[in-house]
Amino acid sequence: MLFNMLNKKKKNIIIGLAAAVIVVGVSVFILIRNSKFNTDNLSQSGNINQLPAPKFMSVEEKSSLNLPADSKIQVLKTDESGKTEVYRVIRKDADIILDPSRIADPDMTRPAVQSAQ
């Protein structure tokens, strides 16, 4: 009887170790797969290090557009003369758009100056 109990303990240890190895293996597989997925997405959108730094409005630009001076506003598009055409109010850092050329939703931005007619 003592021998059978010892065998059961050994079996339980072996089964536990096998389960742990399987869990670790699946975890590593998922991490590698997600890492590859993120790298593929980055290569499709271009190297993030090659993107220009986001531009933000100066206090003078904000005051000329009657915007609060303490607000953080990202410039998304400018005309040839450098005047802001499209901007975005940044409420949290996650709102910053790193690549303005990839904006697909027109509701994400709005014109900075509307013509008065």
pLDDT tens-digit map of 63-113: 988 989 899 999 888 888 888 888 888 998 888 888 777 665 554 545 444
59 pLDDT band, cuts 50/70/90, is very high
pLDDT for the residue 12 = 85
19 pLDDT band, cuts 50/70/90, is very high
Q: Are 97 and 88 in contact (CB under 8 A)?
A: yes
pLDDT for the residue 43 = 47
pLDDT for the residue 115 = 38
Average pLDDT, integer, range 48-57: 77
Q: Among 87, 92, 82, which residue's Cα sits nearest to residue 110?
A: 87
C-alpha angle 31/32/33, rounded to 5°? 90
Coil vs helix vs strand at 73:
strand
pLDDT for the residue 113 = 44
Residue ranges of the alpha helices (H) in 46-114?
A: 59-64
